[in-house]
Each structure stands twice: as C-alpha cells, then as structure tokens.
Amino acid sequence: MRSLFGCESETSILESAVKIDPSRSPFMKERIGVIYEGDSLQDLLVNVATLHVPGETFKVLYVKNGSVKETFERRRAIEREVGLQINGVVDLQQPQRLYGVMNINGRWIFGDYVEGESVWFRHQQKPNHYSTALSTRVARAVVNIAIPDPNGVKVIDPCCGIGTVLVEALSMGIDIVGSDNNPVILAGTRANIKHFGLSCEVKFLDMQNITNHYDVAIIDLPYNLCSVLSPEEQLEMLQSARRFADKVVVVTVERVDEVLLEAGFEILDRGVAKKGGFTREVIVCRSRIPSYTV
C-alpha cells in the first residue's frame, strides 16, 4: 500500500486518486473507479439517473465490504434499483461494462468496477522449480514494492535464479532483464519465462561484471546451504548493485542493515513476509553516495 498508493489503510478498503489495476497485486481484490457518490442510496440514485451508456451493455454489482452487511435479497434489490436508473441496455450474462455500487458506513459510491485476476496463482505451474525461490505471491509483491510505476523504468534482477521475479515483472509489462552467476540453472529460467509466453534477456553474468545502468535492481540474496554468503561477500554484492542501480530492493532472511549502510545505501522502507516459521525481510534502499561508471 505504501509503495503503490503512498498511504496505508487500517481497513480492507483504501481510497486513493492513484489508479492501479487490481490484478497487479495478490493483496487487491477489486477496484471501483468512483463516478458518483451520495450520503444516502436515494441521493446516489438521483446522480446515477444522469448516466448514459450508449452503444454498450452493462451490469451493476453490489460490492460487499466489512463495514456494512446486507442480505443477499437486499443486495440484489439494490443492484436492480441502481440499474433501472441507468440509460442503457442491461446484460446480466456478458456485459460490456461492469459498474459497482458500495455502501461504506452509510456513504454510497458508484463507478466502474474491475475485479482482480490471480495472475500470480497461474504462475505457480511453471515447469522448473527451485526449493529456495520466492513464492509467486511474494515475488509479485516485491516487484510492486520495487516498481510502483513501471513507465520508463529499466529493471534488473542480477540474482534471478529460476526466474520467479522475472515472470511476475514481465507479466505486468515491466522492462526487466535477468542475470545469474550459476549457469546450470539458467536453462530452466529461460524455459519458465517462455512457458508463459514471455521473453526477456537472461545472461550468465556475475554482478561485478554488469556494465549497464538500471533504475531499479531487485536482489534476493542467496541463502541456501550451498550459497552461504559471508558479510564480506554480501558487501561486495551490494557495492556492485549500488554501482549499476539507483534504487535497490533487497530480499533477505538475515539482518543486513549494517552491510547496506557500509555499501553506501540509505534504507527507505521495509516489510516482512512470513510463512510458518520462515521470515523474509524486504528492504527498499537508494544510494546515498554518488555512483560512477568507469
């Protein structure tokens, strides 16, 4: 919420002027683009009566939320009341436009309705897996934290592993490339990307040899038994990242604050993803020391 909207909500509803496709996030269910609002249902009906929908069929959905509970019969009645006010053709089966109506603690809103699609869930069915890879759900959230607005942003995942982050980013239209210093895994990485009809550059490349510059780097620090990094190795990786990226989002299972600061970063925000007894920290950083390309 902080990354995409710049604010948080303590309830299941967030009101914002920022327009985000709810399919971008595993944590968003639906969106209403508010057209009209009223202090009562009758006020709302008066406003909705001015709406004309020429050339398109429509359907009205009552959107449930935790603040007000209505019976099934009452919800259907409200949908009919609102739909009857609209100047257009109703189609309950395959409407060209969907409208949502919602009661938020007595305040009524109406607008274009979009339901989120669980794109990340489909990506669980990739042909190649890696035991320590991020879940698709967490990977998609990390991408959104790193790149809230993808327009004109160039991104790299320099420890891309089996490509979980790459697939999530590419499915959202983000300009991303991947690299890894483990050549054995990269055939599976490319196969995973191709499996979903996506494409991007994936190179066998050590972070220290990256010469291009990127707006954002997403780094899931290696941590399995075969990839235990010393603080010195972590520092070397992060210093390399600061050289080729302006903003870095680090995913880690251990505390790396001191290493990040020593590498020349300032920490802007952080969050924690938990699954059972396993915890990952997501840290948003930017360089506090000018970077130079030689």
In a domain, 232, yes or no: yes
**In Å, how far from its chain's centre is CA 222?**
22
Residue 111's DSSP bridge partners are 34, 100
Mean pLDDT on 129-157: 94
* Kind and range of the H or E run holding 130: none
Q: If you search the block for the tokens 């038994």, which residue do you land on?
A: 225
8 in any annotated domain:
no
60 found inside a domain: yes
Is the residue at 201 inside a domain?
Answer: yes
Contact 177, 207 (CB under 8 A): no
- Indicate whether 161 and 276 sit together in one domain: yes
Q: Is residue 138 part of a domain?
A: yes
Same domain? For 147 and 234 the reply is: yes
Q: What one-character DSSP code corresponds to residue 148?
A: S
Terminal alpha carbon distance of the chain: 38
Are both 86 and 73 inside the same structural domain? yes
| pLDDT value of residue 4 | 96
User: Whole-angstrom Cα distance, residue 123 to residue 175?
Assistant: 18
pTM: 0.91
Average pLDDT over every residue of 79-98: 96
Q: Which CATH number does the domain housing residue 155 bear?
A: 3.40.50.150
Q: What's the rounded Cα separation, in Å, for the pair 187 and 209?
A: 20
Same domain, 154 and 126: yes
**Residue 75 sits in the same domain as residue 133:** no
Q: What number of residues does the chain have?
A: 294
Same domain (yes/no): 205, 135: yes
**pLDDT tier at 293, thresholds 50, 70, 90:** very low
Residue 106 and residue 51 share a domain: yes
Does the pLDDT value for residue 289 go beyond 70? no
DSSP labels, 174-213: -EEEEEES-TTTHHHHHHHHHHTT----EEE--GGG--S-
Same domain for 138 and 84, yes or no, is no
Residues 5-63: tens digit of each pLDDT = 999 998 899 999 999 999 999 999 999 999 999 999 999 999 999 999 999 999 999 99
pLDDT bin (cut points 50, 70, 90) of residue 132 is confident
Whole-number Å distance between alpha carbons of 251 and 270: 10
Final residue belonging to a domain, choices 82, 99, 115: 115
pLDDT band at 170 (very low <50, low <70, confident <90, very high): very high
Q: Which domain holds residue 173?
A: 119-287
Q: Give 218-273 pLDDT, tens digit per residue.
A: 999 886 544 567 888 899 999 999 999 999 999 999 899 999 999 999 999 999 99
Distance CA 3, CA 145 (A): 5
Q: What's the domain count of the chain?
A: 2
Residue that terminates a domain, selected from 84, 115, 146? 115
Between strands 154-157 and 97-104, the pairing is unpaired
Residue 81's SS3 state is: helix
- Beta carbons within 10 angstroms of residue 84's beta carbon: 12
Q: Give the pLDDT band (50/70/90) at residue 154.
A: very high
d(C-alpha 170, C-alpha 175), whole Å: 7
pLDDT tens-digit readout, 184-223? 999 999 999 999 999 999 999 999 999 999 999 999 988 6
Please report whether residue 66 resides in a domain: yes
User: Where residue 44 sits, what CATH number does that domain have?
Assistant: 3.30.2130.30
Number of separate helices (H) and strands (E) present in the chain: 9, 12
Q: Is residue 10 part of a domain?
A: no
Is residue 255 one of the residues assigned to a domain? Answer: yes
Which of 115, 142, 176 lies at the terminal end of a domain, its last residue?
115
Q: Are residues 158 and 207 in the same domain?
A: yes
Identify whether the C-beta of residue 112 lies closer than 8 Å to the C-beta of residue 33: yes
Please state whether beta strands 278-287 and 265-275 pair in parallel, antiparallel, or not at all (unpaired): antiparallel
One domain for residues 126 and 266: yes
Q: How far apart are CA 168 and CA 146, in angstroms?
A: 12
DSSP, res 65: B
Judge if 133 and 65 occupy the same domain. Answer: no
206, 155: one domain: yes
